Structure 1
Amino acid sequence: MMKKKKHKVAKYCCIAVGVLILGILIAEGISSLSRGKVDTSEGLKIIKQAKKADVTAIENKIEKLEEKDKADNKEKDKEDEDTDRNYKAIFANAVIMGDSISEAFTEYDILNASSVIAKIGVELDELDDQVAKVEKLNPQVIFLSYGMNDIIATNGNTDEFVKQYDALLKELQKKLPDTKLFVNSIFPVQDQEIERQPVYEKLADYNEVLRELCDKRQIAYIDNTDLASDSDYEEDGVHFKAEFYPYWLNRMAEVAAL
């Protein structure tokens, strides 16, 4: 009887210990699962943020690429349009007078020699030969493009510049009264040229007084200050690549209704 009782007690003790151990294991498991749940939540949050950031970055890149494609297509369409235009025919009854920047029209074979009267380094007080040539040609339209060399020659004196330009306009109007005159603004120069010739810092002032002169004389002023981009310039920061000239011709033709 005593042996059975002891055996029964031992059995209950084993069961109790087993239940205790199982309880501990369950408690640890629940704790572990709880801790895992917190960690997983934080991890998912970080992953979602990272994915969101990645998506935003990708969307921004796609948007930029789409904008670039649109710009490239627009530029290509414009280039195709320019290629189709016969500028020699359009400017057959017009003459562009100017300096080396204008001289490039014939150097690049964009216009006929009869449509361009220009000379490297020429200044407003050195135009007797050019005026004589244009008088013989007697064109319907004259586009003037001077000033780049005159800024240096007048050393920032806009009053002297206007005086010389006005004298040229008067002479042309006197000798060619039926010819329409158009005056191009002076093209901007790039920073390296301003560093070399600081007087070009006053270029905008020259264009302003030139505009005022044209208003006074009731002559059309063609504002080209925003026409050229950095990629259009040669390395000297003053002259232009061949690809730029059709844009300039389009601007002049548009203003003059050619």
Structure 2
Amino acid sequence: MKKWMTLLMTAMIAMSLAACVSQENGTASTAVDKEATPQKEATTSIAKESALKSLFNTSVFYGDSITEGFSFHDVLDKANVFGAAGKTAFFALKGNDVAELAKRNPEHLFIALGSDDILWPVDNPLQFGIEQYGKLLDKIKETLPQTKITILSVTPVTKKALIEEPRYSNIDAYNQLLKELAGKKQVKYVNVSSVAQQNLALYDEDGIHFKAEFYPLLLDYLKGELK
């Protein structure tokens, strides 16, 4: 009887330990499953951004501080971005930026200038900006005749930014001039305003620049231009 009771107790203890192990394994499995979703999403996002970076590896984005955000946020390599704060078509000509573009010799060139051009302290900043832009395009086309050029519209600003700088109210008018200029110079024009307007949460605090998450969305919007 004593031997039988010992065997029974041993079996019960073994069953109890097995149940505990099973429960612990189940809990661990559940915890892993819960963590898998965001990890999977993050992995998918990284893969998508990597694919976009590869897709634009023969392109150069050229413009002001908004364009500079592509490399600042490490969305594109520095070799694919030529941007600087305060950049305008006038300064581009004076600084001979075309020589630097020639060194990079891109297959596709996306130009995003204008948010600073419309702030020129002259009688007609829009007209002045467009004239300089036209001269810049002529020089680029002459130097890089095989490069496909796409002009990007000036991105809109938030109401807060507009209150602080009323001259931004001219963005729509300037974009219309850019569209007409693209037609005259026989280059492409793409209005990217909708990408910004549909992602208001991705504006930086100044209401002009953008957070890192904005740039992959913009690239995804533009990938059709590479065809």
Question: Smaller-chain TM-score range?
Answer: 0.7 to 0.9
Structure 2 counterpart of 1:185, which letter? S
For 1:256 and 1:84, locate their aligned partners in 2 and report how far apart those are by CA, in whole Å: 17
Larger RCO (CA under 8 A, 6+ residues apart): 2
Q: Are 1:145 and 1:183, in contact at CA under 8 Å, matched by a contact in 2?
A: yes
Structure 2 counterpart of 1:222, which letter? V
Alignment equivalent of 2:206, drawn from 236, 250, 254: 236
- Measured against aligned partners, the alpha-carbon deviations of 1:171-208 in whole angstroms (never above 9, x if no partner) come to 00000001110000000011111111111111100000
- For residues 191-230 of structure 1, the aligned pairs below 5 Å read 191-228=159-196, 229-230=199-200
- Measured against aligned partners, the alpha-carbon deviations of 1:140-192 in whole angstroms (never above 9, x if no partner) come to 11000000011101555322121111011100000000111000000001111
Greater helix fraction, Structure 1 or Structure 2:
1
Bigger CA radius of gyration:
1
Alignment pair present for 1:136 and 2:103: yes
- For residues 1-258 of structure 1, the aligned pairs below 5 Å read 80=44, 83-85=47-49, 86-127=51-92, 128-153=95-120, 157-228=125-196, 229-257=199-227
> Aligned-pair distance for 1:129?
4.2
Off by >4 Å, runs of 4+ in structure 1? 79-83
For 2:115 and 2:208, locate their aligned partners in 1 and report how far apart those are by CA, in whole Å: 9
Q: Are 1:96 and 1:102, in contact at CA under 8 Å, matched by a contact in 2?
A: yes
Listed as ranges, the gaps of 5+ residues in structure 2 are 1-40
Please report the TM-score for the alignment, with normalisation by the length of structure 2: 0.74
What count of residue pairs does the alignment treat as equivalent? 181
Q: Are 1:154 and 1:160, in contact at CA under 8 Å, matched by a contact in 2?
A: no
Listed as ranges, the gaps of 5+ residues in structure 1 are 1-76
Root-mean-square deviation (CA), in Å? 2.0
